[in-house]
Amino acid sequence: MPSQPAIRSYETIRHIHLIAVCGTAMGALACMLKEMGYAVTGSDQHVYPPMSDFLRAKDIAIFEGFSGRNLEQRPDLVVVGNAVSRENPEVQAMYQLNLAYCSMPQAINRFAAAGKKQIVITGTHGKTTTSSFIAWLLHCARLDPSFLIGGLLADFQSNYKVGSGDWMVLEGDEYDTAFFDKGPKFLHYTPEFAVLTSIEFDHADIYSDLDHVKQAFEAFLKRLTSTSSLVAYDSDHNVAELMPGTAAQVVTYGNDPKSAWRLGRVDIQPPYTLFETYHHGEHFADFKTRMIGRHNLGNLLAGIAIGERMAIDTAVISQAVESFKGVRRRQEVRGVKNHIVVIDDFAHHPTAVMATLEAVKSFYGSRRLMALFEPRTNTSRRNVFQSIYPSCFDAADLICIRQAPLLEKIPEDQRFSSMRLVEDIKKRGGDAHFFEDTDGIISFVVSKAQPGDVILVMSNGGFDNIHQRLLESL
């Protein structure tokens, strides 16, 4: 593979082309570059709404399908998406034309974050919600931040913003960067503030085991300098184990009495959750939020710690906590039909599934909770968590498990079994059911649902538009 050509002068760049532009983060980057005054084009093999409409509304020309002809205009820079392989025809043309290229996080760091002070949020769980809240907090503090986050912020109806302020909030992904850079994306950022929410095994397609994952986060922590601050969740022993290896100023949050920040009393009063916070053992402030579940209170607590570290007034922090609307696809109520609530959530890792179910159950009290789960990620379609998933559904009253899609892409001896999961849940006394397809789940749920029920749909994909179809059928 040819070496990555050095970019002689960023000042001469006018036209930037993005390969695989329809990904959530790549699309956001394309829009940011456009707003910054660059001529932007892109290509993808899956060009369809809503991202295709969104990009075209920003006057970004999109080529459908990958082809060397898409580079005939000889862009000054090509941004290569994470999902793009070396064999991609545009990559081959890029080499032949000797065009300058870089990865998505390199482009973010050089263009969108240039001259900004970075706040980078990392961790296996809670990155998107924590990033979104911090972006909203800085907005409420009139700091006009820029941000690029892996989910749609309900408060902005966008996952990116080009702000005029000094700060940029970035969701730091541990997934690999590009085919020419197999290191995690977050190693390309230079944070002044960093958050580490958790470390667990995930992304089984690129990480071999938990130690491999920890090595990635360890590399990130070692990049932090003595002038940067790290807000770290010390109730996770994997996080606590790595903290001595950083030169950053460490601020802890968690459940331990020794944690610098911790939660106090929590009181659920729908539509709000009220909670106390303590800083170095002393009462800091009481807050109320529309977010549900202790895991989300922990995400807010990390943001509160950042706000206090930035000397944001406590009244402003309180306003931000109370007004924060959250993130699309994170415990998002998609609709209510005949007094039946349909909720969408991105949960797929066992820890996230358990936390989400417990949060929804605690918030809705005695109402019957139906859990609909699609194992779709590269990790959940593998059997690495086969024995762990069954206990994660204990909070649900009725459980529907779909056959994992695209199993043919997983080696046969590594495939996850949805049918076995159902049998293991039944052994624990759970009311679980297996379905080959989404149509079967919809028919079953519609026949069983009663007024007062809460239906929680969990998948990192579209789940065949099950949310809307349920609302139309109930």
**DSSP per residue over 9-69, as a string?**
-GGG--EEEEETTTSHHHHHHHHHHHHTT-EEEEEES---TTHHHHHHHTT-EEEES--GG
Report phi then psi at 249, rounded to 5.
-75, 115
- 8 A C-beta contact, residue 454 and residue 368: yes
Q: Is the pLDDT of residue 6 over 60?
A: no
Average pLDDT over residues 130-157: 93
Per residue in 179-189, pLDDT tens?
999 999 999 99
- 8 A C-beta contact, residue 402 and residue 374: yes
Give ranges for CATH 3.40.50.720 in the chain. Answer: 13-106
Average pLDDT over residues 151-179: 91
CATH architecture classification, 13-106? 3-Layer(aba) Sandwich (3.40)
Look up residue 112 and give its DSSP letter. I
Q: Is the pLDDT of residue 324 over 80?
A: yes
Q: Is the pLDDT of residue 3 over 80?
A: no
Q: Is the pLDDT of residue 203 over 90?
A: no
Spatial CB neighbours of 27, under 8 Å, sequence gap ≥ 6: 21, 51, 54, 55
**Between β-strands 61-64 and 39-44, what pairing exists: parallel, antiparallel or unpaired?**
parallel
Per residue in 226-245, pLDDT tens?
999 999 999 999 999 999 99
Q: How confident is the model at residue 38 (pLDDT cuts 50, 70, 90)?
A: very high
Average pLDDT over residues 121-133: 93
| Candidate from 201-210, 266-275, 333-342, 452-461 with smallest mean pLDDT | 201-210
- 8 A C-beta contact, residue 264 and residue 253: no
Q: Which of these, 379, 381, 360, 359, lies nearest to 369 by C-alpha position?
A: 360
**Between β-strands 15-19 and 39-44, what pairing exists: parallel, antiparallel or unpaired?**
parallel
Q: How confident is the model at residue 331 (pLDDT cuts 50, 70, 90)?
A: confident
Half-sphere exposure of 186 (CA within 13 A, CB side): 30
Q: How confident is the model at residue 2 (pLDDT cuts 50, 70, 90)?
A: low
The three-state secondary structure class of 435 is strand
Spatial CB neighbours of 250, under 8 Å, sequence gap ≥ 6: 229, 230, 232, 243
CATH 3.40.1190.10 fits 113-323, yes or no: yes
Per residue in 413-450, pLDDT tens?
899 999 999 999 999 999 999 999 999 999 999 999 99
Q: How confident is the model at residue 9 (pLDDT cuts 50, 70, 90)?
A: low
Give ranges for CATH 3.90.190.20 in the chain. Answer: 332-473
Kindly list the distances between the CA atom of residue 442 and the CA atoms of 373, 406, 430, 439, 457, in Å, as whole numbers in the listed order.
Answer: 12, 20, 20, 5, 11
Give ranges for CATH 3.40.1190.10 in the chain. Answer: 113-323
The distance from CA 262 to its chain's CA centroid, rounded to whole angstroms, is 23
Per residue in 290-308, pLDDT tens?
988 888 999 999 999 999 9
The three-state secondary structure class of 286 is strand
Report phi then psi at 269, rounded to 5.
-130, 80
Q: What is the DSSP string of 367-426?
A: S-EEEEE---STTTTBGGGTTTHHHHTTT-SEEEEEPPTTGGGS-GGGB--HHHHHHHHH
What is the pTM (predicted TM-score) of this model?
0.87
Q: Is the pLDDT of residue 107 over 70?
A: yes
Residue 252: per-residue pLDDT: 96
Q: Which of these, 131, 34, 29, 30, lies nearest to 139 by C-alpha position?
A: 131
Quote the CATH superfamily of domain 332-473.
Answer: Mur ligase, C-terminal domain (3.90.190.20)
Residue 293: per-residue pLDDT: 84
